[in-house]
């Protein structure tokens, strides 16, 4: 492991997590926001459901690890919410089982350390028309509807409230934008750059408003090696230097 040791933020989930560094994704944006402040670690698994996540939970988050994450952002539900296949195969998980699986995931994460914080992301909506048009010779028909997505999203939000865990309601957040069906997805399911910006806004809002000690908001966290140096860029006066450690002007979007 390289040093110095920074707080670790772990993104744990299915394809919306695995792809969060693609297409201007929300994981990449968080890595930029928290540059020199926290390490954003990706543990995303395309196609996975909460049942499969439970199988590897101890391996991804061992309780005896020397360093435990400061924050875990967990997302499962989209694949769980898919309609069941007649064969019994596939990612569908019945809603009651999904709720209990997520409960077990939260309990495990809470046991890692007293300072490990958790944010759950609920199931986002989908563009049903676009999904129906994405015909593949390799896959059976994908049964993904917003009716199902909302059931699993609502269940995730309710579980978070019951367990005192922060939740980002993606089903509601994405639909606040009038053109969400076209703007927020690459294929009707996975997030575009515009969709990811909404996810980041909601995550940053939760972190900023949370009563956590220490505070995990990016503006409150120390910047690594931020001391002034004679090796910094020389200022216009030709006598002093400018410390660029906290510069953010290069960002396309200025986050609160």
* From 58, 182, 187, 228, the catalytic residue: 187
CB neighbours of 211 closer than 8 A, spacing ≥ 6? none
- 253 catalytic? Reply is no
- 187 catalytic? Reply is yes
For 147, counting Cβ atoms within 10 Å of its Cβ (0-12 exposed, 13-18 middle, 19+ buried), the class is exposed
- 190 catalytic? Reply is yes
- C-alpha count within 13 angstroms, C-beta hemisphere, residue 237: 4
Q: Is 100 strand, coil or helix?
A: helix
* From 122, 169, 190, 217, the catalytic residue: 190
**CA-closest candidate to residue 219, choices 253, 196, 249, 248:** 248
Residue 81's region, left for phi above 0, alpha for psi from -120 to 50, else beta, is: alpha
> Which amino acids are annotated catalytic?
14, 187, 190
């Amino acid at each position: 492991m390289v040093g110095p040791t920074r707080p670790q933020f772990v993104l744990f989930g299915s394809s919306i997590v695995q792809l969060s560094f693609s297409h201007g994704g929300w994981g990449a944006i968080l890595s930029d926001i928290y540059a020199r402040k926290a390490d954003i670690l990706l543990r995303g698994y395309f196609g996975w459901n909460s049942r499969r996540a439970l199988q590897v939970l101890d391996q991804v988050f061992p309780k005896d690890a020397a360093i435990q994450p400061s924050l875990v952002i967990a997302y499962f539900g989209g694949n769980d919410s898919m309609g069941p296949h007649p064969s019994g195969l596939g990612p569908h998980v019945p809603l009651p089982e999904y709720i209990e699986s997520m409960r077990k995931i939260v309990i495990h994460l809470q046991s890692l350390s007293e300072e490990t914080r958790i944010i759950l992301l609920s199931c986002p909506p989908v563009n049903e028309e676009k999904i129906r048009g994405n015909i593949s010779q390799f896959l059976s028909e994908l049964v993904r509807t917003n009716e199902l997505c909302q059931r699993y999203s609502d269940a995730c939000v309710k579980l978070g409230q019951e367990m005192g865990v922060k939740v980002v309601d993606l089903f509601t957040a994405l639909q606040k934008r009038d053109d969400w069906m076209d703007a927020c997805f690459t294929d009707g399911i996975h997030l575009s750059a515009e969709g990811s910006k909404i996810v980041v806004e909601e995550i940053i809002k939760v972190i900023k408003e949370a009563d956590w000690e220490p505070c995990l908001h990016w503006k409150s966290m120390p910047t690594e090696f931020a001391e002034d140096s004679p090796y910094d860029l020389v200022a216009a006066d030709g006598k002093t230097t400018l410390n660029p450690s906290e510069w953010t002007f290069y960002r396309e979007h200025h986050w609160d």
